[in-house]
Chain A
Amino acid sequence: MITKRIIPCLDVKNGRVVKGVNFKDLNDVSCPVELAKYYSDNGADELVFYDITASFEERKLFTDILKRVASGIFIPLTVGGGINTLEDFERVLSCGADKVSVNSGAIKNPSLIEDAAKKYGDQCVVLSADIKRVNGEFHVFAKGGREDTGMEAISWVKRCVEMGAGEVVVNSIDTDGVKKGFDTEMLCAVCDTVSVPVIASGGAGSINDFTKLFNTVPEVSAGLAASIFHFGEVEILDLKNELKKNAINVRL
């Protein structure tokens, strides 16, 4: 039986892993290569790397780090951040990424999803959507959650999946960094609309939040988090043991 995936997310800036509250006030946490190895050895099902400053900073350092990570870690790696063109896909895939996550790049140019899915397959293209409630409606935000696009989020996700996105990361800006649980309402709305795997992101503060996520929205395929793992508040193996006790199928 397919298992629910637990995915640590490493936001990388200037070669270091950072994680902020509500995307601001970034704190340096650790070295990406060491952290990736630690997670891979300790139960992570997959890793996500976001090059969070890629739009305006040097990317070379990031791809060097990616290569070092990918040479020593044999679980799936997804890379996002600053992916605007097919050349960006090529750049990170050739350094060992398995999947590429697109966000602002797809908002600027939606055909990027279609072109990339044709060239690399649907399984390679992950839509990452930063979503926030604005006047009672879900809106898509761009540029790392700083800019309201005004677009309704659920129809945006649906459109991207129709164009070839093989997976969707739903990142709730409303719950991100607050550590009071995932945005189950938002996740239900997305899961009701698309049939590709949906990854929940934003809001994990405890083991209980993951149990609640998979029990409340059983269609969700994976839970993604950063700070609770990086700061050692939750060990992935403890989390998975607890999920198993709650009859949620995990890889142990």
Chain B
Amino acid sequence: MVAIIDYGVGNLFSLSSSLKAVGVETVVTGDPDIIKNADKLILPGVGAFGDAAKKLEDSGLKDLIIKLADEGKPLLGICLGMQLLFEKSYEYGEHSGLGLIKGEIVPMVGNIPNGLNIPHIGWNGLVFKKNTPIFKYINNGDHVYFVHSFYADHCSESVTATAEYGVEVTASVQSGNVFGCQFHPEKSGEVGLKILKAFCEIGE
């Protein structure tokens, strides 16, 4: 069973519908016992980093997620959920993340060339950098849906794919059993469903 971690941030309707569509048993929960017993965890998130980090902390789930990830439970962070996996973010101040992946979250403003729209919204092609099990059913160049104004930087060791948007924007990361997608697989049509399916099959 896959647990989608509910800590009061974001829209979990699409994510649970898409997992259902690939035939995976899913529970949306903030209950520590259910999370502990899940085979895999998905950490979603939209909105601002600081708010989300605080909500995760207030929910009491932050330390639990770190502990379970350290013990080897597969964890997938999506969008802001991916950003939270990193050490820190500079979105409206400086905030600490879960520190599961080395690197930090920086603004697009000032780091990407002028003339490109911010937020980076839309379908962009994945440029594979490293093999990762979650891409086993998709191809280099496949398009996925992005919506974000900040991105992960100083994390070259863990980058598995980028997307070209003036700079090489970190699109996905992996550090051992911890995975992250900056884009929304649950909004990326067939390609996205294949990524979710592959994540759910890890270790099976």
Contacts and interface: CB of A to CB of B under 8 A. Distances in A.
A38 interface: no
A93 B11 CA distance: 7
Overall SS of chain A's interface? loop
Contact of B192 (A2, A72, A74, A198): A74
B13 A95 contact: yes
A2 B123 contact: yes
Nearest to B186: A74
A11 interface: no
Contact of A222 (B47, B122, B192): B122
Contacts of B17: 70-72, 74, 96
Contact of B193 (A70, A74, A119, A122): A74
Interface string B154-187: 0000000001110000000000000000001011
Contact-residue size bin, chain A (C-beta under 8 Å from the other chain): 35 or more
Contact of A123 (B21, B46, B123): B46
Given A2-B123, A120-B46, A251 B187 contact: no
Interface string B182-204: 00101111101100000000000
Contact-residue size bin, chain B (C-beta under 8 Å from the other chain): 35 or more
A110 interface: no
A94 interface: yes
B14 A123 contact: no
Contacts of A97: 11
Contacts, number: 99
A167 interface: yes
A188 to B, nearest CB: 15
B16 to A, nearest CB: 9
Contacts of B184: 76
A197 B117 contact: yes
Given A196-B117, A197-B119, A1 B164 contact: yes
A189 B204 CA distance: 55
Contacts of B14: 70, 74, 96, 98
B127 to A, nearest CB: 10
B193 A96 contact: no
A15 interface: no
B145 A76 contact: yes
A76 B187 contact: yes
Contacts of A198: 117
A123 B17 CA distance: 21
Interface in B44-65: 46-48
Given A74-B21, A93-B11, A123-B148, A221 B187 contact: no
B192 A3 contact: no
Contacts of A95: 13
B36 interface: no
Interface string A61-79: 0000001001110111000
Nearest to A120: B47
A40 B189 CA distance: 8
A3 B11 contact: no
15 contacts: A2-B122, A45-B123, A67-B13, A70-B13, A74-B189, A75-B145, A95-B13, A96-B14, A98-B14, A122-B119, A123-B46, A166-B119, A166-B147, A167-B119, A222-B122
Given A67-B13, A70-B14, A121-B46, 18 more contacts: A1-B165, A2-B123, A3-B122, A3-B125, A5-B123, A40-B189, A71-B17, A72-B21, A74-B17, A74-B186, A74-B192, A93-B11, A95-B13, A121-B47, A123-B46, A195-B118, A198-B117, A221-B121
Interface of A: 1-3, 5, 40, 45, 67, 70-72, 74-76, 93-98, 119-124, 166-167, 195-198, 219, 221-222, 251
